[in-house]
């Protein structure tokens, strides 16, 4: 990498000054590349030049996510399926009809005699669930549906966080690619000039080869970044599932609220308040609580299942008893001697203990997640704000002086190259730091389960519903 940047330095200024005419940028300094004021921020790569660039705002992307994401749609159907289980749990058992008809009647020597001379038995029974089984079944089904709702919100929380992080990644990595593009343009000119100079024996062949090697390494780095952007664009297409973005010929250009990005701060967040909000909003924590209540309701249901149900109803028998037309009442009740549902009751009791331990463990995980997310975001935010206004701008201001010093031979080529190596590294690393910072801020939102630091745009109705579930 050091050799690479070293040659880059030779490329952009040294060779341009010794072999060709200086390349003057809008800032007035020959060859200085300042990505913070570059036109190439949305420009880009050889591949992007052949693709249609479509700008996409984060608010629009989140709206499309709620509308089109296949995983969210599947999760909604799962909620509907669980709610249908509530309806099923509240239904009464169907009545049972029993008919007994004699095949052959001896007195009349007739088959299937349905007259008064034949024998016919009709019995109707209705099963009555005792012990409040229906109410307890409905309660279990309701808690199951509530768990599926929290699963939906937890999925939405993860997908929205992934969407925002993907947005920031693509935005800042496109800036890095733009920086490489402008550097490579200058480098390619320098290589061409160096080759012409070599033919005139003005430079050594070793210098030309070093420039070509640098060009290769820089282009490889740039292509690696471009591949990562393409992979993130693919993730974005899956998340949004929108026809207008599905084509590979479309390059998605994220549009961020840069004012929000710059003013986003972690300073006002307190760990205790964040933990309280996490207990209130985290959907996975809510689901764990609902899972415990589900097992408790299931234990009550298993105790109720130990109570036998009563089957009761009228019966009519014609010609089969001492009376020609016999009317009676039937009742059926299982005697709980051997099977008192004791196995299922014990299993339900143990399941409660399992859910309690899982809930305690999850609470510990949530507390640690929030603490780590806050510490990480503060570290990234402090580092960025410490250097954002002076670090890269100081390098850009110093670049012109370094170039003049090199032209007047006040500094050596090694000193000049070392400066530009540091300058390039600082620009690229600052862009990565911006990406890491915004990802860390999204990590805070994710750990708490609600949007503590989010853009102020108006959310759609569905997004508001997600906020109620703790996934905004």
In this predicted model, what pLDDT tens digit does every residue of 347-356 receive, in sequence order? 999 999 999 9
Separation between Cα atoms, residue 18 and residue 212, nearest integer Å: 17
* Residues 419 and 161 sit within 8 Å (Cβ to Cβ): no
Q: Which domain holds residue 56?
A: 52-448
Q: Answer yes or no: is 461 within a domain.
A: no
Question: Phi and psi dihedrals of 126, rounded to 5?
Answer: -120, 130
Query: What's the structural domain count of the chain?
Result: 1
Separation between Cα atoms, residue 89 and residue 83, nearest integer Å: 10
pLDDT for the residue numbered 300: 95
pTM above 0.85, yes or no: no
Per-residue pLDDT, averaged over 272-294, amounts to 95
User: What are the distances in angstroms from CA 160 to CA 38, 240, 263, 309, 312?
Assistant: 30, 11, 21, 49, 56
- Residue 175: CB partners within 8 Å, gap ≥ 6? 35, 41, 431
Q: Answer yes or no: is 34 within a domain.
A: no
394 three-state secondary structure:
helix
Q: Answer yes or no: is 325 within a domain.
A: yes
Q: Answer yes or no: is 457 within a domain.
A: no
Per-residue pLDDT, averaged over 318-346, amounts to 87
Question: Phi and psi dihedrals of 246, rounded to 5?
Answer: -75, -30
For residue 62, count CB atoms less than 10 angstroms from its CB and return exposed for 0-12, middle for 13-18, buried for 19 or more. Answer: buried
Per-residue pLDDT, averaged over 254-274, amounts to 89
pLDDT for the residue numbered 189: 75
Q: Answer yes or no: is 174 within a domain.
A: yes
User: What are the distances in angstroms from CA 57 to CA 60, 64, 204, 220, 264?
Assistant: 5, 11, 51, 30, 18
Longest dimension (CA), the chain: 134
- With tokens 């925002």, the residue in question is 164
Please determine, for residue 245, whether its predicted confidence score (pLDDT) is greater than 80.
yes
Please determine, for residue 437, whether its predicted confidence score (pLDDT) is greater than 90.
yes
Separation between Cα atoms, residue 369 and residue 37, nearest integer Å: 38
Q: Answer yes or no: is 36 within a domain.
A: no
161 three-state secondary structure:
helix
Asked which of 230-244, 386-400, 425-439 is least confident by mean pLDDT, the reply is 386-400
* Residues 165 and 228 sit within 8 Å (Cβ to Cβ): no
Confidence of residue 216 (pLDDT cuts 50, 70, 90): confident
Separation between Cα atoms, residue 167 and residue 233, nearest integer Å: 9
154 three-state secondary structure:
helix
Element of type H or E holding 54: strand 52-57
Closest CA to 169 of 465, 460, 438, 449: 438
Closest CA to 464 of 16, 194, 62, 13: 62
* Residues 308 and 335 sit within 8 Å (Cβ to Cβ): yes
Token pair in block for residue 9: 């330095």
Q: Answer yes or no: is 472 within a domain.
A: no
Separation between Cα atoms, residue 307 and residue 127, nearest integer Å: 13
Please determine, for residue 303, whether its predicted confidence score (pLDDT) is greater than 80.
yes
Confidence of residue 199 (pLDDT cuts 50, 70, 90): confident
Separation between Cα atoms, residue 252 and residue 245, nearest integer Å: 7
Q: What is the DSSP string of 172-237?
A: HHHHHHHHHHHHHHHHHHHHHHHHHHHHTTSS-HHHHHHHHHHHHHHHHHHHHHHHHHHHHHHHHH
Confidence of residue 21 (pLDDT cuts 50, 70, 90): very low
Q: Answer yes or no: is 297 within a domain.
A: yes
**Greatest mean pLDDT among 36-50, 318-332, 406-420:** 318-332
* Residues 14 and 406 sit within 8 Å (Cβ to Cβ): yes
Provide the 8-state DSSP code for 95.
Answer: P
Please determine, for residue 27, whether its predicted confidence score (pLDDT) is greater than 50.
no
Supply the CATH number for residue 434's domain.
1.20.1600.10
């Amino acid at each position: 990498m050091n050799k690479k940047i070293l040659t880059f330095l030779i490329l952009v200024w040294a060779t341009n000054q010794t072999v060709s005419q200086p390349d003057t940028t809008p800032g007035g300094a020959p060859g200085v590349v300042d990505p913070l004021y570059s036109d190439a921020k949305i420009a880009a790569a050889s591949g992007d030049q052949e693709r249609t660039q479509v700008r996409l705002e984060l608010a629009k992307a989140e709206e499309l996510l709620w509308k089109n994401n296949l995983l969210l749609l599947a999760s909604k159907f799962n909620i509907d399926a669980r709610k249908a289980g509530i309806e099923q749990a509240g239904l009464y058992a169907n009545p049972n009809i029993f008919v007994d008809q004699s095949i052959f009647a001896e007195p009349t020597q007739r088959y299937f005699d349905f007259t008064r001379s034949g024998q016919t038995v009709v019995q109707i029974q209705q099963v009555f669930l005792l012990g409040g089984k229906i109410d307890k079944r409905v309660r279990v089904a309701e808690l199951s549906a509530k768990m599926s709702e929290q699963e939906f919100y937890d999925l939405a929380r993860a997908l929205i966080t992934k969407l925002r992080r993907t947005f920031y990644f693509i935005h800042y990595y496109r800036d890095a690619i733009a920086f490489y593009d402008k550097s490579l343009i200058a480098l390619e000119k320098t290589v061409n000039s160096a080759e012409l100079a070599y033919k005139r024996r003005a430079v050594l062949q070793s210098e030309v080869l070093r420039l070509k090697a640098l060009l290769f390494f820089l282009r490889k780095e740039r292509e690696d970044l471009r591949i990562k952007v393409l992979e993130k664009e693919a993730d974005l297409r899956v998340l949004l599932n929108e026809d207008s973005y599905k084509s590979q010929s479309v390059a998605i250009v994220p549009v961020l609220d840069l004012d929000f990005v710059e003013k986003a701060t972690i300073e006002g967040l307190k760990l205790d308040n964040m933990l309280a909000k996490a207990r209130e909003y985290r959907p996975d924590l809510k689901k764990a609580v609902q899972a415990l209540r589900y097992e408790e309701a299931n234990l009550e249901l298993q105790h109720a299942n130990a109570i036998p149900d009563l089957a009761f109803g009228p019966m009519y028998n014609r010609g089969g008893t001492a009376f020609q037309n016999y009317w009676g009442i039937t009742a059926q009740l299982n005697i709980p001697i051997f099977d008192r549902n004791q196995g299922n009751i014990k299993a339900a009791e143990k399941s409660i203990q399992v859910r309690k331990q899982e809930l305690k463990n999850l609470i510990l995980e949530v507390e640690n997640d929030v603490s780590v997310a806050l510490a990480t975001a503060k570290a990234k935010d402090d580092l960025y704000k410490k250097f954002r206004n002076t670090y890269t701008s100081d390098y850009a201001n110093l670049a012109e002086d370094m170039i003049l010093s090199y032209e007047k031979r006040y500094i050596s080529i090694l000193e000049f190259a070392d400066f530009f190596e540091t300058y390039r590294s600082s620009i690229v690393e600052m862009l990565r730091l911006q990406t890491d910072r915004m990802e860390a801020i999204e990590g805070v939102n994710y750990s708490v389960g609600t949007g503590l630091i989010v853009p102020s745009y108006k959310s759609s109705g569905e997004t508001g519903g997600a906020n109620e579930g703790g996934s905004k």
